[in-house]
Amino acid sequence: MKKIRVVMIAVLAFTQLTGCGAAGGNAQQAESSQATGTAAGSSVFDGELEENVTIYVLENDTAISKGYFDELIEAFNEAYAEYGITAVDANMDQYLDLANDGPYGYGPDVLYQANDVIMQYAEDKHIYPLPAEQLECYELIDESAWDAYRIEVDGSEYICGVPVNVQAPMLYYRADLLPEDWESAWDENGNQVPDMAESWNAMYAWSLQRHEEDSTKYGYMKSLYDTYFSSGFLFSYGAYVFGENNTDPSHIGLAAGEAEKGAWVLSQLASAMSEECIDDTITANAYSKLADGTYFATISTPDVYSTFFDELVMAYEGEGMSEEEAKAAAEENLVMTTLPMLPESGDLTEENPTLIESKTMGGINGYAVSAYTEYPNDCLAFIEFATSYEMVVKRSEMLGIAPARQDAAETAGGTSELLYQSLADGNIVLMPSIKEVAQLWTPAETFFTDVAKDVFRSESERKYKDLEDFRAGLENMVQQIHDAIFTLQ
Amino acid sequence: MKKKKGFWHGMDVCVTYVLLFAVAFVFFFPCLWLILASFSKSGSIYSFDGFFPTEYSLASFRRLFTDTALYDYPQWFFNTLFVAAGSCVIGSFLVILTAYTMSRFEFKARKPLMKGTMVLGMFPSFMGMIAVYLLMTQFNMINSLWGLILIYSAGAPLQYLTQKGFFDTIPKAINEAARIDGATSFQIFTKINLPLSKPIIVYTALTSFTWPWSDFILPKLLLKKRELYTVAVGLMALDETEFARFAAGSVFIAVPIVILYFVLVKNMVNGMAQGAVKG
């Protein structure tokens, strides 16, 4: 019996000792990092590179699959070979869980994520505040992009991420599906850009006409429940998410200004779609339906351009074109551009309307440094390298992203420049970076779903008959978001 | 009277077959749909004509094994095979030993142990996930396929009751006769009981293999690196536009388990039949 006890004690002691291994060490280090992280600002960034180490970088899937990430780490490793610093792929799911995995040493050192994700980590001190002003790109990135990564703690402001690219909804349409007479009948200002791409009124009219000519075809199609895409219609008429520059959750502005006109626009657009606009069917099938010509246009983010492109190439090949011909045709016919303008009145049937700019909800993707890294200076060096002009231009060329750096956006031209301009003009409303934004999605989706569904109800059952009804619906949604924030949190 | 009986018998057979076909259809249709979808040429679920694809090709399977830059299916497949095979060998060994011990040996803590393991086996395995995660971080076994094998194998003996039931059916008189002839406990186990237990060993090996083969929760919890994913975790990590790859991956993962079943089922049935005659 004594022997058994001795063996058991030995086993327990062994397991305890094993528990103090690397993972435990990382956890302790993380705790101390958290303690000093935001309070001491960026004191860990002392400028002295940690030599002969490996840093783990988490990139997004598109950058990896298109080969950009390989080129980036290869170039970085070559540039920092004399210090023995090697950057490698963290090889993790792009939707990581830094809060749970980081403290045990299983998170990446550098991560590339959307601003709302990074800032939620920053609020819980899983991210280091960066000495952003020291970076070469600081002056070249618009202030609004930096704002997405700003956090205030005890009266001091910190920047927790470096903006790389701007994400905002873009209009995708097929130029070869335009009516044959578009240059004479659908280009009122004669600028060689079809009216459908310039005004929602024209897009609505064309959608109705296309569906009338062939009941299996549609014009503009989009899943309207999606808050990320639909909220822009409210913003365009004066709505906003939270007060105090998206930092005050007690002030919810989704019904502010003339937001009801935006809801009305959505309702009118839904009337030219099928019932699939109520759920996420269109979001999922837009790639193939745009390719087979069922849809004329949709909206999505710029990073999925290659998916639309590949589907269209496949569709052309199915029609008998060679691979080269199909690629050339897809390049020519698949157009990605900024959103059309909206009528000031909100009436899509108005002739010769006064047009206003469309605003959209957007995000800024960027790099951040994990608070659990042992090599913060190397991580900063990597970020400096990855956000240099050359690398951002290469990223834009290979992935089709819109750079947050002004000089890179100008070099990229086209859509990238337009997006940068939209950001600078305030037409891209950045997704709030505070935790309370989590309570926004469900009530907003319920409202947008209801607006889309209403079009398909019988006349007597309709809930939204005039602007007053839309306003009441919006106010109800705002109340629900408010209750969710202050009851559940 | 005979006619009436024949009529009811015919009706009975007819209704039974209709019901069997209906149930078989309910279970078979999703499988058929997935198999056909995996051969879809377009690769998009939305290009189907009704339920089924309009054109077929092997492109999805080709991509599954050649386009591995982001989704390394062959590596995931190997990882799954490694974990399932490892768990199968170690787990089966432990289950058989546990069941044999509980069936053949009388010792003081036998009853409390049996009750304890039965109660513990009733708790769903995911209840202990947080504890498992914390323990594995302390043992430095996150991102380790051996960590998975350890947990699957260590948990397997809790499910020993079926195997114990089988050992209980082998007459103890055989063991006693062997012992009189001078055989040791180890010899009795290896030379007498194991050869008689072929069907239950095959059953145990199959179940020990299939659980890790298709499990999602534990690998998702413990494997953070993409290169270490099992197929279940890898398929879940696919982008929403990768339906064709998902369908092909789901179909292909079923192949080894089907082969294994057809290879081993003969032993199971033969063994069971032999057991029946002996009994």
Check if the beta carbon of residue B114 is closer than 8 Å to that of residue B168. Answer: no
The closest CB to that of A64, out of B69, B143, B224, belongs to B69
pLDDT at B3: 62
The residues pairing with A305 across neighbouring beta strands, listed in sequence order, are none
Token output for A383: 């970020």
Spell out which residues of chain A touch residue B139, defining contact as CB-CB under 8 Å: 15, 18-19
Asked if B68 is an interface residue toward chain A (Cβ–Cβ < 8 A), one would say no
pLDDT at B41: 78
pLDDT at A10: 45
Measured CA to CA, the distance from residue A4 to residue A268 in angstroms comes to: 79
CATH code for the structural domain at A46-160+362-426: 3.40.190.10
Measured CA to CA, the distance from residue A203 to residue A261 in angstroms comes to: 17
Token output for A334: 């698949």
The closest CB to that of B142, out of A93, A106, A287, belongs to A106
Asked if A424 is an interface residue toward chain B (Cβ–Cβ < 8 A), one would say no
pLDDT at B49: 67
Rg value, chain B, Cα: 24
The residues pairing with B52 across neighbouring beta strands, listed in sequence order, are B49
pLDDT at A251: 94
Residues with pLDDT less than 70, chain A: 1-42, 488-489
Could you give the C-alpha distances from A228 to A170, A232, A304, B70, in angstroms and in order? 12, 8, 15, 27
pLDDT at A152: 85
Check if the beta carbon of residue A464 is closer than 8 Å to that of residue A451. Answer: yes
CATH code for the structural domain at B70-275: 1.10.3720.10
Rounded to two decimals, the ipTM of the complex is 0.71
Q: Which residues are CB-contacts of A231 (< 8 A; sequence separation ≥ 6)?
A: A239, A241, A254, A361, A429, A444
- Residues A394-452 pLDDT 10s: 999 888 788 999 999 999 888 888 888 888 888 999 888 888 888 999 999 999 999 99
How far is the alpha carbon of B220 from chain A, nearest alpha carbon, in Å? Answer: 11
Q: Which residues are CB-contacts of B180 (< 8 A; sequence separation ≥ 6)?
A: none
Answer positive or negative: Cα dihedral of A243, A266, A305, B236: positive
End-to-end CA distance of chain A: 54
pLDDT at A26: 41
DSSP of A152-184, one letter per residue? EETTEEEE--EEEEEE--EEEEEGGGS-TTHHH
CATH code for the structural domain at A170-359+435-486: 3.40.190.10
Residue of B138, B141, B150 to mutate, interface with A, max A Cβ within 10 Å: B138
From B227, which residue of chain A is nearest by alpha-carbon distance?
A91
> Average pLDDT for residues B54-77, to the nearest whole number?
89
- Residues B161-202 pLDDT 10s: 889 999 999 998 988 899 999 999 899 999 989 888 888 999
From B141, which residue of chain A is nearest by alpha-carbon distance?
A23
- Predicted TM-score of the model (pTM): 0.77
Check if the beta carbon of residue A363 is closer than 8 Å to that of residue A432. Answer: no
Measured CA to CA, the distance from residue B223 to residue B233 in angstroms comes to: 9
Token output for A432: 């709030």
Amino acid at A32: S
Check if the beta carbon of residue B89 is closer than 8 Å to that of residue B204. Answer: no
Contact: A104, B47; criterion CB under 8 Å: no
Spell out which residues of chain B touch residue A280, defining contact as CB-CB under 8 Å: none
Asked if A17 is an interface residue toward chain B (Cβ–Cβ < 8 A), one would say no
Q: Please report how the helices A467-488 and A259-271 are oriented relative to each other, as an axis angle in degrees rounded to 10.
A: 110
Estimate the share of chain A in helix, then strand, then coil, as percent rounded to the nearest 5.
55, 15, 30
Asked if A50 is an interface residue toward chain B (Cβ–Cβ < 8 A), one would say no
Instruction: Pinpoint the alpha helices (H) of B156-242.
Output: 161-169, 172-180, 185-187, 194-196, 198-214, 217-222, 231-236
Spell out which residues of chain A touch residue B237, defining contact as CB-CB under 8 Å: 93
From B70, which residue of chain A is nearest by alpha-carbon distance?
A65
Grade residue B278 by pLDDT with cuts at 50, 70 and 90. very low
Contact: A65, B70; criterion CB under 8 Å: yes
- Return the higher-pLDDT residue of A67 and B242: A67
Neighbours of B82 (CB within 10 A): 16
In chain A, which residues fall in CATH 3.40.190.10?
Answer: 46-160+362-426, 170-359+435-486
pLDDT at B260: 84
